[in-house]
């Protein structure tokens, strides 16, 4: 891999996940599946251990099984919310009924995934609820002369004001959080689309969509090609920085 890509990948902090799950096989499957996907996993087998780890570690997302040896995951979620902790919660359970899902959301869940599941979907859902949580605290992202409102889905650049599609919003917000970083196409596919390598030229297509909207055929380039790597959001050409 290109050295610049290595540096950009290492510069992105992993998402800290606390998994509360008593089934060792399920926990190992999740750990193995999230390994290498920019997640840092901490595992608890009981509610009491989960609460202890939640107090000790500033986790960014909580994955919670419902049936645990020392109580219900619903009670755990209630306790977390009563303490004023707004950490995103994804409930992981074999209870695949509408009533069970509704009950989970009533107790503070942000998302719900039924067993059996694909780890790729779990990773994508974790990224999605983390993005939503971040948007609650900071709904306007800025870099150089680009401003993005995550609530209205409007992007502004000088006198240009455009409305973005949901996927354009995801991609631009991803780039705005990593200005000056050389990002590979595979890295963008994994983090924005939640899919692995060799998917398609979808990244190139959506970069062109953003360029057309943010440049309007008259403003300087803001999303640059990085030869041998992928793309970079920069007010200055990467060639000029070399």
Domain ranges of the chain: 3-136, 139-241
- The answer to whether the 3-136 and 139-241 domains have the same CATH topology is no
Say if residue 240's pLDDT is above 70: no
* 87 backbone dihedrals φ, ψ, rounded to 5°: -55, 135
Average pLDDT over residues 55-74: 84
pLDDT of residue 84: 66
Contacts of 25 (CB under 8 A, 6+ apart): none
H/E element, 93: strand 89-93
pLDDT of residue 86: 78
Yes or no: domain 3-136 corresponds to CATH 1.10.1780.10: no
CA distance 29 to 20: 14
User: What is the distance in angstroms between the CA of the first residue and the CA of the last residue of the chain?
Assistant: 18
Average pLDDT over residues 9-16: 64
What is this structure's pTM? 0.53
pLDDT of residue 91: 92
pLDDT, tens only, 130-169: 888 776 656 788 888 898 988 889 999 988 999 999 999 9
The DSSP output letter for 13 is P
- The count of C-alpha atoms lying within 13 angstroms of the C-alpha of 37, restricted to the half-sphere facing its C-beta, is 27
pLDDT, tens only, 100-136: 888 888 888 999 998 889 999 999 999 999 888 776 6
Integer CA distances (angstroms), 14 to 110, 129, 185, in order: 20, 15, 18
**CATH among 3.10.580.10, 3.40.50.720, 1.10.10.10, 1.10.3720.10 for 139-241:** 1.10.10.10
């Amino acid at each position: 891999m290109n050295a610049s890509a290595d540096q950009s990948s290492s510069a992105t902090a992993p998402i800290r996940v606390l998994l509360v799950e008593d089934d060792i096989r399920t926990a190992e499957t999740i750990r193995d599946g999230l390994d290498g996907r920019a997640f840092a996993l901490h595992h608890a087998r009981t509610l009491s251990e989960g609460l202890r780890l939640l107090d000790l570690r500033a986790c960014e997302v909580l994955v919670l099984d419902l049936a645990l040896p020392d109580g219900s995951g619903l009670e755990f979620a209630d306790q977390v919310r009563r303490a004023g902790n707004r950490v995103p919660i994804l409930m992981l359970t074999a209870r695949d009924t509408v009533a069970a899902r509704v009950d989970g959301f009533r107790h503070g869940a942000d998302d719900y995934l039924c067993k059996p599941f694909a780890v790729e979907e779990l990773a994508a859902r974790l990224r999605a609820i983390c993005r939503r949580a971040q948007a609650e605290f900071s709904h306007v992202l800025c870099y150089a002369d680009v401003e993005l409102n995550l609530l209205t889905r409007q992007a502004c650049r000088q006198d240009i004001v455009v409305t973005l599609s949901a996927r354009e919003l995801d991609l631009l917000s991803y780039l705005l959080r990593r200005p000056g970083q050389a990002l590979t196409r595979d890295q963008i596919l994994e983090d924005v689309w939640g899919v692995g390598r060799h998917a398609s030229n979808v990244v190139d297509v959506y970069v062109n969509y953003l360029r057309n909207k943010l440049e309007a055929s008259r403003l300087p380039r803001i999303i640059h090609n990085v030869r041998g790597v992928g793309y970079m959001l920069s007010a200055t050409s990467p060639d000029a920085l070399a």
